[in-house]
Chains A and B, each alone.
Chain A
Amino acid sequence: MDEFTVSRIFINLLIAAKWTVILSLIAFIGGGIVGAAITLMRISSNKWLRGISWAYIEFFQGTPLLLQLFLAFFGLSVAFGINLSPLQAATLALTGFTSAFLADIWRGSIEALPQGQWEAGSAIGFGYFKQLQLIILPQAVRLSVAPTVGFLVQVIKGTSLASIIGFTELSRAATQINNVTLQSLLIFSLAGVIYFLLCYPLSTWSQHLERKLSYKT
């Protein structure tokens, strides 16, 4: 069984980790863009925009990601005849899931700022979007760095659920190799190391960012 040396296993896992990275990036980018839009709706003065964004967040936070992947891949097909490829379905579900949580984190950061910051901006004569741009967001971003990155680390690990609709990403590859070689401790340890290598730089970067964005008091 010399084709299953440690290095062979590791290389196979790394190849599969490509999908973990791709799915994570899709979730970050899609979730970030949609999440920003949902955040703005959530803090809007328009009650319809607030209501829609509230329902959106509650749906994606209140149901498991696994179920969302199922619904996107099988559900849309059965109910509406919309057949999505696994990648399209994963993009849809991961974007929805990530955006809902990010929107909630970002809304919380914005609402954590004292009302006086908005009022001071108003009193100078800034309109709503200028207040957001110049006064509110720079402060809210700083508050939200740690919880945002913490959540993105969860998303990286959460992409393993996409194996359910056919992605051979890191976790699924580990399971498959294990089924053949039965070297479970070794394989899952290596998979763990790769997950760690993906997540740890994010945490470090988050700490760096927090220091960089902090202002003197």
Chain B
Amino acid sequence: MSSFEPQINAASTATLGTEPIIVAKDVEKWYGNGFHVLKGVSLTVNKGEVVVLMGPSGSGKSTFIRTFNGLEPYQGGSIEIDGIAIAHDNKGIELVRREVGMVFQQFNLFPHLSVLKNITLGPIHLRGMSPSDAEELGMSLLDRVGISHQASKYPGQLSGGQQQRVAIARALAMRPKVMLFDEPTSALDPEMVREVLDVMRKLAESGMTMVCVTHEVGFAREVADRVIFLAEGHLLTDTTPDEFFNHPKDERVKKFLSQILH
């Protein structure tokens, strides 16, 4: 498996931590049933940073990152991605979405299209790329996630881990500035978790800005620059992995860690 080429937006170590690309301020969200899921959450992510979001289920962490590409509308506060504001009514959201890749828990590959076509769909129809250029790009991305030999297969013929790697390649094909991961390994059999995390690790090393909702402690410790802890719609801590795992101060973080670290 070849390593990831640096992306266009790849931040050098010198600029890491200085140039904000996601700026979320006091984000408020209520579900349709009136449940107040995000209670004024603020987060700034700089170019090239890898941020891991943790928290008990129902804390709002998935909902929070889904506001970064408008999959969840929000009602209060503001969100900017690379300087483009996400309006509360989602107006003009397609422009933001092209710059933000997302990987889902359930992969959400398109079952009626081959693996390669899953990847080329966006570049052809949204970037105006010729089919042959898009296929070349698709094959190089499949090569990077280690499954170029499966290009002509259909998603249903692949294992969960392979499907998730295709989903990562599909998101990368749009040349996003930011990648969002919404529990990317939670639906996988244990033996397939590592192959997906390896791809994510390489992506992080290439300088991609990543926001990951995950319970993978090993990944968070080794790859994350910051660990954010959400509980009941509040951002409780924003700290380094070392502080978060080895010297937790907040009682709720301690309780959470005791539950996931067995």
Contacts and interface: CB of A to CB of B under 8 A. Distances in A.
Q: Are A and B physically bound partners?
A: yes
Interface residue tally on A, bucketed by range: 20 to 34
Contacts of A63: none
A123 B93 CA distance: 10
Contacts of A114: 106, 108
Interface in A108-161: 114, 116-117, 119-120, 122-127, 130, 134-135, 138-139, 142
B121 interface: yes
B221 to A, nearest CB: 28
A216 interface: yes
Most buried by B among A125, A127, A139, A216: A125
A217 interface: yes
Given A124-B170, A126-B125, A216-B154, A139 B111 contact: yes
A117 B126 CA distance: 17
Contacts of A126: 94, 122, 125-126
A215 interface: yes
A80 B24 CA distance: 61
Interface string B109-148: 1111000000001100110000000000000000000000
Nearest to B99: A125
Interface in A190-217: 215-217
A124 B122 contact: yes
Interface of A is mostly: helix
Interface residues of B, number: 28
Contacts of A117: 108, 110
A215 B157 CA distance: 10
Contacts of B71: 119, 122-123
Contact of A216 (B104, B109, B121, B157): B157
B69 interface: yes
A139 B71 CA distance: 22
A64 B172 CA distance: 54
Given A119-B104, A120-B109, A124-B170, A130 B125 contact: yes
B97 interface: yes
Given A125-B94, A130-B125, A217 B154 contact: yes
A215 B102 contact: no
24 contacts: A114-B106, A116-B104, A119-B71, A119-B104, A120-B109, A122-B69, A122-B97, A123-B71, A123-B100, A124-B97, A124-B121, A124-B122, A124-B126, A124-B171, A125-B94, A125-B95, A125-B98, A125-B122, A125-B174, A126-B94, A130-B125, A142-B112, A215-B154, A217-B154
Given A120-B110, A127-B94, A217-B157, 18 more contacts: A114-B108, A116-B104, A116-B106, A120-B108, A120-B109, A122-B69, A123-B101, A123-B102, A123-B104, A124-B122, A124-B171, A125-B95, A125-B174, A126-B125, A130-B125, A139-B111, A215-B154, A216-B154
